Amino acid sequence: VYKIYGKILRHRNEWDKAARFFQESIELYEECENPLGVAEAYHEFGLMCADKGERENALSHLRRASQLFEQLNAQKALEQVNQDLEKLDLPFALSID
């Protein structure tokens, strides 16, 4: 639920609230030993950082998501997060959807 709240708040540009929900989501997924949930939360957190203009934070979160998706052999999710990473190499004025 926290991850979904984070996504909603991300789309409303309520960055601080969204970040708190994403962080809480990551912590809960880690406690429950749910690596897929952790990876998805890092992916969303990274997209939020990109939307906010925090390129380095976006790269960090997206790279972590990529590593986790690769470990899980979640190919479709891995392809998506890697595409999002590639977009960050373009001029940062472009947004990630």
Please compute the mean of the pLDDT values over residues 16-21 and round it to a whole number. Answer: 97
Q: What sections of the chain are H helices per DSSP?
A: 2-11, 15-31, 35-52, 55-72, 75-87
- pLDDT tens, 35-92? 999 999 999 999 999 999 999 999 999 999 999 999 999 999 999 999 999 988 755 4
Q: Is the pLDDT of residue 96 over 80?
A: no
